Structure 1
Amino acid sequence: MRFSLLKFKMILYNRLSQNKPNRLLMNYSSVLILCGALVLSACSSNHHNPNGGRHIARKPMYKPSTIENACAIMGAHPTWRNAFIGAHKKYGAPPHVVMAILYQESRFVHNARPSRGNAYGYAQALDATWDWYKSKSGHKRAARDHLPDAVDFVGWYLQQNKDRTGVSKWDARNQYLAYHEGTGGYLNDSHNEKAWLLKVADKVNRHAIVYRQQLADCYKY
């Protein structure tokens, strides 16, 4: 693009220098330089999206009135409710366990990210883990900042934990430990060397219990 623009300017310069005053020539050159700058800046104005591709990252379409109540989370939008019910039917992932993990990971902030690392979105999934999920689940267009996709991911991951470690999908504490450490780390008891993580897992479990009690008012299972 730069070469073509420069070549065009040189041709115009030669023609104008033979027929037009220097002042007019300078005005034409100034306009061309300005137009060239505008074209180049427009071509480089894309924003990187952590979910892949190059476009402006999505904004959250829906938000629950409170994240402290499971029924409010379910009621944020029909797509949210359908996502939790769908993950329950598809993977056997209890909604209260999925909610408790999402609460701990992001507080339901769609574009949450840590100060270090590449975790992102509602479920704080790592790049490699998210790619693995998309490859194995067939959900190629899944986005980490889209709640239904994040719910499906957590449900799928709970199933992976169950298959590889034997931990029940209803066991919020140990499912979270395996979620955080990975199945390999969990099987190697890496979590037992992290007192802070064990405390966090206890919090996840307590939150899951509260969510389970609340869901009795809006979803029976």
Structure 2
Amino acid sequence: MDPMRIFLALLTLLLVSGCATSPPSNPENLCEIFREKRDWYDAATDMNDKWGVPIQVPMAMMYQESSFRHDAAPPRKYLLGFIPWGRVSSAYGYSQAKTPTWSDYIRETGSSGADREDFYDAIDFMGWFITKTHKINGISKWDAYGQYLNYHEGWGGYKRGTYKSKKWLMTTSRKVANRASKYSSQYKSCKDELDSSWLYRLFFG
């Protein structure tokens, strides 16, 4: 391969990694997210290939959970009203995965080096969870509304209908579903462009 092409490729990878932890500048547009963060698109398509989960569903759920912040965490608890005393939940990272569920994911997939602050691992985790939700509770992988209810309440909680007494959660789940629908339409308009990007052409053009 031409040395200049190798240099440009390495420079691109360095630039991408340098901004990998910052949220996308336009999170409302899936095309813009992936144009800005090419490695995220690679991770999302790998997740889709591996789990058969449509990209727009975990992306809409992740937007709701963390606003695409790698170090997102729940609010702190306070002892006596002013002494920091841990977090209200063990949820953490892009996907806001709770520690026990993340441990299950690592054990079942053999992903021993997975990190909740790594986008690739986070979206793969969500693909795994959405697939298990489909197997356990029969929720379509394309059903962002039902998938988010399971994600929030857990498989057992969803079976027991715990969400039915939480109008705010059902409202939030509808918001996630609407965003997934919007993301889906946006993705259809730019998928060919993303799949034939200049970086792809650099190596295979």
Shorter-chain TM-score: which interval? 0.7 to 0.9
Do structure 1's residue 183 and structure 2's residue 174 form an aligned pair? no
Query: Which of 33, 40, 49 does residue 80 from structure 1 map onto?
Result: 40
Q: Is the 8 A contact 1:80 1:148 kept in 2?
A: yes
Cα distance in 2 for partners of 1:202, 1:124 equals 19
Equivalent residue number for residue 127 of structure 1: 99
Deviation at 1:78, TM superposition (A): 2.8
Compared with structure 1, are the counterparts of its residues 172 and 203 closer, same or farther at alpha carbon in structure 2 (3 Å cutoff)? same
Deviations 1:100-121 (A, max 9, x none): 0000000001100011211100
What CA RMSD, in Å, does the superposition of the two structures yield over aligned residues?
1.6
Q: Is the 8 A contact 1:172 1:208 kept in 2?
A: yes
TM-score between both structures, scaled by the size of structure 1: 0.70
Query: Which of 186, 195, 203 does residue 175 from structure 2 map onto?
Result: 203
Deviations 1:132-177 (A, max 9, x none): 1111111111111111111101011000100000100000000000
Query: Which of 37, 55, 60 does residue 95 from structure 1 map onto?
Result: 55
Look up the SS of the partner of 2:65 in the other structure.
Answer: helix
Cα distance in 2 for partners of 1:73, 1:129 equals 27
Q: Is the 8 A contact 1:62 1:76 kept in 2?
A: no
Cα distance in 1 for partners of 2:117, 2:151 equals 18
- Equivalent residues in 2 for 1:1-221, closer than 5 Å: 60-61=20-21, 63-115=23-75, 116-219=88-191
Deviation at 1:64, TM superposition (A): 2.4
Cα distance in 2 for partners of 1:63, 1:106 equals 10
Deviation at 1:76, TM superposition (A): 2.9
Determine which structure has greater relative contact order: mean sequence separation of CA pairs < 8 Å that are 6+ residues apart, divided by chain length: 2
Amino acid in the other structure paired with 1:128: P
Look up the SS of the partner of 1:153 in the other structure.
Answer: helix
Look up the SS of the partner of 1:217 in the other structure.
Answer: helix
Look up the SS of the partner of 2:190 in the other structure.
Answer: coil
> Which is strand-richer, 1 or 2?
2
Give 5+ residue unaligned stretches, structure 1.
1-58
Amino acid in the other structure paired with 2:180: A
Cα distance in 1 for partners of 2:191, 2:159 equals 33
Compared with structure 1, are the counterparts of its residues 195 and 135 closer, same or farther at alpha carbon in structure 2 (3 Å cutoff)? same
> Max radius of gyration: which structure?
1
Which 4+ runs in 1 deviate beyond 6 A? none
> 211-220 vs 114-123, which deviates more?
211-220
Q: Is the 8 A contact 2:146 2:173 kept in 1?
A: yes
Give 5+ residue unaligned stretches, structure 2.
1-18, 76-87, 193-205
Amino acid in the other structure paired with 2:142: W
Deviations 1:69-118 (A, max 9, x none): 10122223332111111111111111111110000000001100011211
Deviation at 1:61, TM superposition (A): 4.0
Q: Is the 8 A contact 2:60 2:183 kept in 1?
A: yes
